[in-house]
Amino acid sequence: MKTPQNKALVIIDGQDMHEIEQGDSVHIKLASAKAKLIHREEFNYFEILKQKLGWGDHR
């Protein structure tokens, strides 16, 4: 999706997409409640991040 030069897209958690314009503000703060996340034991956040960002990929 292309946006004009004076606009940008803010994408939250890869799902919510908002177009903002020059002069708009984005405020980020910690939530008052904590979330507990469940994942499989073999899940390795850093390995997935490495794959997605192509770190260490010397092809």
Confidence label for 14 from pLDDT (cuts 50, 70 and 90): confident
Q: Which helix (H) or strand (E) holds 47?
A: helix 45-53
DSSP three-state, residue 11: strand
pTM score, whole prediction: 0.46
Per-residue pLDDT, 13 = 79
Stretch 37-56: mean pLDDT:
84
